[in-house]
Structure 1
Amino acid sequence: MNACLITNRQQWNDFIGTAPFGAITQTYEWGELAQYANSKPLYCGVLDDQDQLRAAMLVLVIYVPMLKSTYFYAPRGPIAASANEPALGLLLNFVNSEARRHKAFMLKIDPVAEANDADWLRFFKQGGFKANDSVLHGRNEWVLDIYPDEKEQLAQMKEKWRYNIRLSRRKGVVIRQGHGPEDMRTFHRIFQETGERDKFYVHSLEHFEHMMSLFEPGEKAALFLAEYEGNVIAAIIVMRCGNCCWYRYGASSAQSRNVMPNHLLQWTGIQWGREHGCTYYNFMGIPTILTEEEGPKDPNWGVYNFKRGFGGYARCAMVSQEKAYNPAIYRLYCLIRDLKHSYSNARYARSELAQKRQAYAVKKQESSAQPVS
């Protein structure tokens, strides 16, 4: 077997598509998208005597200006038939050698493997990795089996969700697939509105345009827009790799939410996945705690309730794995990262407290304004 950098896009993507639960962030196009964001992609693979890939890992070389150093990051890698694949050891040795060549201070992996997969845990431990709670790609996901029969698919949903899909159609919501700059600008405008409302980071319009230019050919991604009375009120971007389809981005206007466009949009995304041979539809992020007693405290609980209404089950990927090449720089990086997390958590806590105080003030004002009987 031979470990090397792979340049054959089709060979790479065909192999990545065999990964359980998929790994779109390991595709050739994802590396090109990262390159657009100033990260260098390294397509590391191991070929057998018949030039067939046995193991692969897209590694992004990321520069940290504050440390004037780089680290390696593999989002949802490595990919192999199992953790016992002999080529994996050769693959890791090759990545280690590339890390020395690029003077990387660590290799970080957010594995695609299940959280408690003993074989993969053993592989990472033997490879010198240590678990870390800091993840760049969320571990907790909501996954839906895509059934060949639409009636069977609908039967898995909550009754209210089936009703809302029909209601949206009766109200006159029309779903169409978007193409071109104008539709992308429309999506991004609503996505910005959603980001401001729900307080999450929004990529630039140029980022999404470049992403679609990479994934839309070959129908690896699709933009769907929900129109009502001549206006686009919601949109989603779905992507696929192998037998998996992902709901990657969603945007919704505050207007006309009563016509339930998001239910019909998701149903359209599920149908698109089925039409392209997918057997899983991944809604992605959900809260860590899913008990009714503790879960509602999570700001994403409402989103989780929406996703689980379509049926499906929770899946948790393995905790992030990190291997230090330069312990001194790695420790400094961890310190900076911990400080950033602490600051973000404190800022969120202050924001939440301010919202509660404002709500209390409004309630008190309304109460004092009531006429005395």
Structure 2
Amino acid sequence: MSYRLKAISREEHLDFIRSLVSVSHMQIPSWGDVKPDWRAESLGWFDDSGRLVGAGLVLMRPLPKVKRYLAYLPEGPTIDWSAPDVERWLEPMLAYLKERGAFSVKMGPPVVARRWSAEAVKVAIADPRAQRLRDVEATEHEPRAFDIADRLRRMGWQQTEPGREDSFSAGQPRYVFQVSLAGRSLDEVWSGLNQQWRRNVKKAQKAGVKVLQGDYEELPAFYSLYVETAERDRFSPRPLDYFQRMWKVLRAEDPNRMRLYLAHHEGDVLAAATMLTVGGHVWYSYGASTSRKREVQPNNAIQWRMMSDAHELEADIYDFRGITDALSEDNHLLGLLRFKVGSGGQAVEYLGEWDYPLNKVLHKALDFYISRR
């Protein structure tokens, strides 16, 4: 079967997404509005009968001083990755983007390669010989992922490590942590938390921590904590207007697409987080907290409230997003991994991001530009 690819409307794109169980929040039309520095376009794959069978949000950004574009499909496209002829899906995409002026294409196939249970990750962290999660025996393997990777390499795609999302080396986490909610009661989800998590949630409740949903007007309160978190955890914060724009455009598409949660204690906001929802997939997107009053455990409280609300929304997955792959004790992100492991979920490795250089000279120039930033 051959596939025809063309631009589709936002409405067509949204209708297709609604027909699926799970699609990345970075593959919905409104995500292009979150990224004004990129030119966004919705693409559709049509079969021989004219039926829309695949879709993708592509973000286009020009190389400085050159009217050629990096084309990026974060955590996409949304096509049938299990098909034995994945080449027939990707070849028309490459041809279309080349005509649109792309010199390089980056994509992130939403394909799971391996999974590690919470217990397996816990054992790996405690093992001084384990330096990387990727080197530890996985609890589950997805054989088709490795077949897809081989097919991509034969086509000329090059696998890359994730980079910084706010630069040309745009990248999303290859390793994430997820809690399965499908087919489980909330009591079963609660029982899946480790003893420390359950103790901390109860401690927060006893101390009087109240987790409430916030509105647009409370984004500055979230942002104040976010800036403090950025300084403490050594990352560059996004500006406030990024979150304000995110709130407006995502909720304009679907009022339930983005939520804000704030943990209050005796008049103080101690923690805040954003939650995104697309179909049966819920993401903990951005989190922030203060160093004050950590003893009342606001972070556990806010996460349990979000997991409970995700369960009420009948979500299949609660996604904690990125985790570190490095397990050494000197890694400042190891504490965050330990925190997420306490939720009783799974570490999940995706196939990672892949580049296709349509123009090798300009692609090398892009690599040079990135190395100088």
The question of 1:149 aligning with 2:185 is answered yes
> Could you tell me whether the CA contact under 8 Å between 2:10 and 2:42 is conserved in 1?
no
C-alpha distance after superposition, 1:172-207 (max 9, x if no partner): 111110012x20111111111111111112111111
Matches within 5 A, 1:26-175: 26-34=27-35, 36=36, 38-48=37-47, 51-65=50-64, 69-84=68-83, 89=87, 91-115=89-113, 117-135=145-163, 136-146=171-181, 148-175=184-211
Does the 8 A contact of 2:81 with 2:111 survive in 1? no
Q: Distance in 1 between matches of 2:110 and 2:78?
A: 8
1:242 deviates by 2.1
Moved over 4 A (4+): 17-21, 88-91
Which moved further from structure 2: 121-130 or 256-265?
Answer: 121-130
**Could you say if the C-alpha distance between residues 306 and 60 of structure 1 is closer, same or farther in structure 2, counting changes exceeding 3 Å?**
same
Change in CA separation of 1:287 and 1:21 when aligned onto 2, cut-off 3 Å: farther
The structural deviation recorded for 1:66 is 5.8
Distance 1:134 1:178, change over 3 A: closer
Maintained 8 Å contact 1:161/1:309? yes
Q: Give the structure with higher Rg (CA).
A: 1
Cα distance, 1:126 vs structure 2: 4.2
Decide whether the 8 Å contact of 1:45 with 1:91 is kept in 2.
no
TM-score of the pair, normalised by structure 1: 0.82
Find the residue that maps to 1:54 and give its secondary structure.
Answer: strand
Q: Take 1:80 and 1:68, find their aligned partners in 2: how far apart are those partners?
A: 29
CA distance in 2, matches of 1:67, 1:200: 30
Query: 168-177 vs 39-48, which deviates more?
Result: 39-48
Aligned to 1:202: 237
Larger mean CA deviation between 69-78 and 126-135 belongs to 126-135
**Could you say which residue in structure 2 is the equivalent of 1:254?**
291
In the alignment, which of 259, 276, 294 is matched to residue 239 of structure 1?
A: 276
Question: How far did residue 134 of structure 1 move?
Answer: 4.2
**Which secondary structure does the structure 1 equivalent of 2:361 belong to?**
helix
Q: Please state how far the C-alpha of 1:146 moved relative to its aligned partner.
A: 1.4
Aligned length: 331
Name the amino acid aligned to 1:158: N
SS of match in other structure, 2:329: helix
Q: Deviations over 1:219-276 (max 9, x none)?
A: 0111001111112111010111121111110010121111101101001111121122
- Post-superposition Cα deviations, 1:101-147, rounded to whole Å, max 9, x if no partner, equal 33221001122212360342244234321222244101110111115
With the length of structure 2 as denominator, give the TM-score of the two structures: 0.82
In the alignment, structure 1 segments of 5+ residues that lack a partner are 341-373
Give the letter aligned to residue 273 of structure 1: A
- Equivalent in the alignment of 2:13: 12
SS at the partner of 2:81? coil
| CA displacement at 1:336 relative to structure 2 | 3.1
Question: What is the match of residue 137 of structure 2?
Answer: none
Closer, same or farther in 2 for the Cα pair 1:134/1:225, shift >3 Å? closer
Q: Which has the higher contact order (CA 8 A, sep 6+)?
A: 2
Hey, what's the Cα distance between the residues in 2 that align with 1:200 and 1:228?
27
Is the Cα–Cα contact under 8 Å of residues 83 and 123 in structure 1 kept in the other structure?
Answer: no
> Helix, strand or coil: the match of 1:234?
strand
On the 8 A contact 1:31/1:41 being kept in 2, the answer is yes
Amino acid at match of 2:355: E
Note the residue ranges of structure 2 that are not aligned, 5 or more in a row.
Answer: 114-142, 164-170
| CA–CA distance in structure 2, aligned partners of residues 92 and 310 of structure 1 | 37
Query: Does structure 1 residue 311 correspond to structure 2 residue 344?
Result: yes
CA distance in structure 1 between the partners assigned to 2:263 and 2:65 by the alignment: 43
Letter in 2 for 1:211: M
- C-alpha distance 284-317 of structure 1, shift in aligned 2 (>3 A): same
2:322 corresponds, among 282, 285, 292, to: 285
Q: Which residue of 2 aligns with 1:354?
A: none
Amino acid at match of 2:153: K
Distance 1:334 1:208 in 2: 29
- Structure with more of its chain in helix, by fraction: 1
CA-CA distance at 1:167 after TM superposition: 0.9
Corresponding position of 1:274:
311
